[in-house]
Amino acid sequence: MKNLFNLSGLFYSVCVVMLLLGCEQNLQKQDDHSRLAIQNHMDENVISNRTNEQNTINHTVCAVQDNVNVKQDEKIALIIDDAQVVDQNSFSATESGTANLIFRYSENLLSGNVVFTQTAPTKVHVHQGYAGQTGDLVFALVQNTTNPAIWDIEEIMDPVTEVFSNAVDSNTLAAGGYYLNVHFGNDPTSPTLRAQIVSNDVKFNVAPLIAHNGITTIASGFAGASANEINCQVSAFVTLVDLVDVTGVHLHIEDENGSTSNKIVLELDTSVTTATVYKIADADSFLNFSDLANVNAGHWYINVHTATNTSGELIGYLDASHFDFIPLTIDASQVVDPIAANATDTAAANFMLDTVTGMFAGGVTFTGEIPEKVHIHSGYAGQTGDLAIELVQDVLDSSQWKIAEADYFTLDQSVLEAGGYYLNVHLINGIDTLRSQILQHGISVSVASFVSHAGIITNGSGFAGITVDRKVLPDGGYAVKGFVTPIGLMDITGVHLHIEDIDLVTTQKIVLEANLNGVFEIPTTEVLTDAALKDIAEGRWYINVHTALNVDGELIGYLSAIP
């Protein structure tokens, strides 16, 4: 916002006051917005659309300073990861990098480099395109000859055209219209990283599109939107996957009370033939200062309507930098008690964690039998625990169960982020249950039901669940939690987790300890090695339960990952 200080008179006062209000809202109204984000306020009952006359006025007010300011060179520091990648088939990259760039406005040149701390990429490019949009290649970076972890922007002048290889358009860059794209492999579906190259004047957000208010859908998508604080120009691009009968794609901007202050209708981008993309039309590409203040406070989202779901089938919260979306499939495969694990029903859940405020909200949709109760319990995979939240049934739709607003802040965020809560569904017969661990990105769960070891005749049975946090610990290794519940066994002499390499040689063996409830658990001091984590990823691990009668093992459980 530094250029605002070059304005004078009324325009200066309006800009500064409104933008400062936006900053104040961002600090003071975050909790209010988080609470409002999951409500059914998207029903579009009170909407004030802008007229063409207002658009003209907004454009004039915001753009008046464009010919006044002379910009200096600008340093742009970026974090590059997979959060901004539009193609969801390429989201699997775990690497990251940092970029240190300088835009030389007087020359229209972009210089600098990108540094990677893990795997060196195959290619690094600069493309033209706004947040949520894919675009053409502008130029490629080159790998540093002395340090392969560094990729540099070259500056070579074409002797014929006298144009430098790193030339970019200043207006496009100032509006956030370029991005870094990093490839790990030559296949189009290979993992990629992306970072929008944005000046300090541009506010931008991206968001995956999720099911609207727990609706069951196979569709997905990705949205990105940018707003320039200097001239109030806004762009938005939405890519849809597996969605039919789209009746509308809208960008909503809300005020501090959660009421829609502006709704912008996106149009189908007919220039894109390889995907279904919607964008803001040029006539609607400028905001007024009030809307800009609401954008700065994070009050904007994308809503996608279809003929089947007229209120919205997909939604994307554009301040999703601190929102973690957690979709779950609930069935009987994770139920610890085998007596209660016979149900064939399934259900779908969509939850959202605001990592800033700790708010956890969302619900479950049932397409078959309507359950008797739906709960969230404390407990890791393979473990049963105390009731934490009882979801409430929707009074208008009995297939919908949601977290009440009073319980949005009930769960312990650190436990939630470690995979320490599960959803438990009690079916109407009072016996069978469904279960699903509530897992964020980077947490994986594997479960196993026990069978007799090497054909031994036994009345024993049981269940095992192992949780792995794939974030590296400060001292190296990876945190692991595991719980094993043997049933019907006498004289247990040992319960072990075995991890094997490709030659079936044990790379790590963990001895589980019995607690007062007869459940065996992995000691908190245990961590997984890098080699063990690789073998786990390839499915080579199991639980062995030894008894006095069967010293080599009476029960065995081969662990399989929960998708």
CA distance 70 to 67: 8
Q: At 25, phi and psi to the nearest 5?
A: -60, -40
Taking alpha carbons only, the member of 25, 34, 32 closest to residue 297 is 25
Q: Where are the domains of the chain?
A: 2-67+201-318, 74-197, 324-437, 443-561
Pairing type for strands 109-116 and 392-393 reads: unpaired
Question: Residue 50 has what pLDDT?
Answer: 34
Give domain 74-197's CATH number out of 1.10.10, 1.10.3470, 1.20.120, 2.60.40.
Answer: 2.60.40
CA distance 236 to 234: 7
Does 172 score more than 60 pLDDT?
yes
Confidence of residue 56 (pLDDT cuts 50, 70, 90): very low
Q: What are the C-alpha distances in Å from 78 to residues 62, 95, 107, 417?
A: 27, 14, 22, 25
Question: Residue 91 has what pLDDT?
Answer: 52
Q: Does the reported pTM lie above 0.85?
A: no
Adjacent-strand bridge partners of 161: none
Taking alpha carbons only, the member of 203, 207, 194 closest to residue 127 is 194
Instruction: Yes or no: say if 288 and 234 are a contact pair by the CB < 8 Å rule.
Output: no
What's 545's DSSP letter?
E
Adjacent-strand bridge partners of 402: 363, 392
Q: Which tokens hold the place of 10?
A: 């009324």
- Residues constituting the chain: 563
Q: Each residue of 550-563: pLDDT tens digit?
A: 999 999 999 988 86
Q: Each residue of 503-562: pLDDT tens digit?
A: 888 889 999 999 988 899 999 999 998 888 888 878 889 999 999 999 999 999 999 888
Of 164-173, 218-227, 357-366, 420-429, the least confident: 357-366
- Count CB neighbours of 77 within 10 A: 9
Sheet order of strands, 506-511 included: 451-452, 555-558, 541-547, 492-500, 506-511
Q: Which tokens hold the place of 362?
A: 């969302």
The alpha carbon of 464 is separated from its chain's Cα centroid by a whole number of angstroms, namely 28
- Shared fold status for 74-197 and 443-561: yes
CA distance 361 to 350: 9
- Count CB neighbours of 460 within 10 A: 20
Give domain 443-561's CATH number out of 2.40.128, 2.60.40, 1.10.10, 3.30.43.
Answer: 2.60.40
Helix (H, G, I), strand (E, B) or coil at 368: coil
R_g of the chain computed on alpha carbons: 27
Adjacent-strand bridge partners of 49: none
CA distance 386 to 142: 55
Instruction: Yes or no: say if 209 and 222 are a contact pair by the CB < 8 Å rule.
Output: yes
